A and B are shown apart, each in its own frame.
Chain A
């Protein structure tokens, strides 16, 4: 054996060229890593600040506290206080009552000399009379009394307080004039008009183009919840059963390889394709109703299945073979081995996969557009189980819908809906983390 020439001994205190190069490479890599993390964080901050900045306003709404005299002559001319009879008084009647109440205040305090009754009435949302009417019909004894009622201000007035509408823009706007805004300002100074928390944003159904102030997410949230429950009930058992069969029982042959490749491919299929499939299969072929949470949930189930199967198989696969051997070694059958030992150890992984799959389904828009969930839905779906066949909306679709509308007030609504969606996702992801912690066991 020939000896390789040994280099002259060098001091440990001086780094040689190779060491320097290696250290430099490591340093560069660390910088890249930090930069990548920083870019990610920056994007998150920008996203959150823009969404929160434009969307938080949706949770606060301008309301006018007015003393309204519920005139018995107008509302219940026969005096029976029978809701069926009183229903003849339409929102127009109630609208006049509200306008009269506001006008009385304006005249009493001399806030807007010379302003016409119609113009004063335009400060109030067109949705307000309906709310008052519902309240009176539900409680006929109110008729004849004077109540203090919070009426929604119109979208333009609301926008003025939130900075969306200015005197300059009002001058060009046929829906509001600078004088009306000045009146609104004075009403605020009087303490009658204020920004208050707006529960209606979470409970109201969608509203038309002209009444952004009353548009809410109620139907969309209900629709989304219906869909998520159905998706969970269908996709989790089917997905886990399929994964267990494929991973533990299925023979390894060409056919199962083909299935495996297809499952992986299906997870990558664009979601709109599932929408077309749902339209063709569930609505056109099976004749299920359009816009219903059931059809939406079936489509989302198809979409979520591969996304549950893949992590579930990975979780099953990650259970160490020694545990299976141990169970088989004491004479457990294959099924006992899987259900007593393998599955419990795979539960954290399965739950994480399932919840992430559900979270994706919750945020999915495209397939729902195709099955008609983008329609304007004003009525709440009924209680389950029949309610899943009623038309409903979904949160992401509602966001998409609102961003299409002309009135900038809907931009605020859409951002507010994004916040709600993000909160839902955050809750689901926290749930995944908690469940993971709870079920995690070492071996």
Chain B
């Protein structure tokens, strides 16, 4: 771990993008998330770490209401995006997800062309008026995802024909194309090799300029490399949340320390 770099890293942004208060999640009888309070800053990479089954992915999926698709899942408490409760009855999850994009653990491009993969979001949200604008959006999204140079000559080739790392960057481009404000990433590198992982990590750091990024990861090194703030989850509780440098070098909670030193996990 490059601790030197960690301590130097400053958090510039201070605007809160997402505020969560007393969030409880139940899967049927099991209580998966207990009393989580967290403030996610704008233009910052926030990492969620913790052992398997600690609820970090579950909490991530609450932030764009992906848990709605699970019938037995119940969410209580308040999650505010720019001060608006996303679980309010008036909120349509479809509109929410246009503003809070998501990248999944396994690259899951649509079985369509590279172009159509990226163009799908802008099309269904009516973000473009004509083909020329759409072309522009697709190009800029692919550029943001650092994929443009590799695929610009074969935009009509199937997205599923790309390599694993390229597929994941395509999924990032797809998420970025709808101009979301927050980008949720659920272990985006766990299915990738080290080189592809490095590319995606570099990309995440660049995305910070435009988006608030929340990343769930199993790799503490990755959290340390890409994030400015880190939240440690354990058994459904948010144990500790703070600047990444502080969490890794000077954890306040003994459980955090045990985890990052490899004693629990």
Contacts and interface: CB of A to CB of B under 8 A. Distances in A.
Interface of A: 251-252, 320, 322-333, 336, 340-341, 345, 441-443
Interface in B168-183: 171, 174-175, 177-178
A331 B111 contact: no
Contacts of B71: 251-252
Nearest to A320: B108
Contact of A331 (B98, B109, B110): B98
Given A252-B71, A330-B175, A443-B160, A325 B104 contact: yes
A331 B125 contact: yes
B255 interface: no
21 contacts: A252-B71, A322-B104, A322-B106, A322-B108, A323-B111, A325-B66, A325-B104, A326-B104, A326-B171, A326-B174, A328-B69, A329-B97, A329-B102, A329-B103, A330-B120, A330-B124, A331-B95, A331-B125, A340-B120, A341-B110, A443-B160
Given A340-B120, A442-B160, A330 B178 contact: yes
Contacts of A340: 120, 124
Given A340-B120, A442-B111, A330 B101 contact: yes
A327 B104 contact: no
A206 to B, nearest CB: 51
B212 interface: no
B94 A331 contact: yes
Q: How large is the interface on B (under 10, 10 to 19, 20 to 34, 35 or more residues)?
A: 20 to 34
B251 interface: no
Interface string B177-200: 110000000000000000000000
B127 to A, nearest CB: 10
A332 B110 contact: no
Given A340-B120, A345-B111, A333 B104 contact: no
B94 A333 contact: yes
A329 B66 contact: yes
Nearest to B102: A329
A121 B103 CA distance: 87
B125 A326 contact: no
A338 B174 CA distance: 18
| 7 tightest Cβ-Cβ pairs between the two chains A and B | A331-B98, A322-B108, A329-B102, A331-B97, A330-B121, A326-B108, A443-B111
Given A329-B175, A330-B175, 14 more contacts: A322-B104, A323-B108, A324-B69, A326-B174, A327-B110, A328-B97, A329-B64, A330-B120, A330-B178, A331-B121, A332-B124, A333-B94, A340-B120, A443-B110
A162 B102 CA distance: 75
A334 to B, nearest CB: 8
Chain B CB within 10 A, most for which of A328, A336, A442? A328
B109 A441 contact: no
A340 B102 CA distance: 19
Interface in B64-95: 64, 66, 69, 71, 94-95
Contacts of B174: 326, 330
Contact of B111 (A251, A329, A336, A441): A441
Contacts of B108: 320, 322-323, 325-326
Interface of B: 64, 66, 69, 71, 94-98, 101-104, 106, 108-111, 120-121, 124-125, 160, 171, 174-175, 177-178
A327 B110 CA distance: 8
B105 to A, nearest CB: 9
A300 B97 CA distance: 45
Contacts of A331: 94-98, 101, 121, 124-125, 178
Contact of B66 (A252, A328, A336): A328
A244 to B, nearest CB: 16
A102 B229 CA distance: 106
B140 to A, nearest CB: 16
A327 B93 CA distance: 13
B8 to A, nearest CB: 34
A442 B102 CA distance: 23
A324 B104 CA distance: 12
Nearest to B118: A330
A326 to B, nearest CB: 4
B138 to A, nearest CB: 13
A331 B178 CA distance: 9
Nearest to A333: B94
Contacts of A251: 71
A340 B111 CA distance: 11
Nearest to B174: A330
A345 B171 CA distance: 19
Nearest to A329: B102
Contacts of B178: 330-331
A331 B125 CA distance: 8
B113 to A, nearest CB: 12
Contacts of A325: 66, 69, 102, 104, 108
A43 B109 CA distance: 47
Contacts of A330: 97-98, 101, 120-121, 124, 174-175, 177-178
Contacts of A332: 94, 120, 124
B110 A326 contact: yes
A442 B162 CA distance: 13
A320 B102 CA distance: 17
Contacts of A336: 124
Contacts of A328: 66, 69, 97
Nearest to A252: B71
Contacts of B102: 325, 329
A340 B119 CA distance: 13
A204 to B, nearest CB: 50
A329 B175 CA distance: 8
Nearest to A253: B71
Contacts of B160: 442-443
A334 B153 CA distance: 33
A323 B104 CA distance: 11
Given A251-B71, A442-B111, A329 B120 contact: no
Nearest to A326: B108
A322 B104 CA distance: 8
Chain B CB within 10 A, most for which of A251, A326, A328, A332? A326
Given A331-B121, A331-B124, A323 B95 contact: no
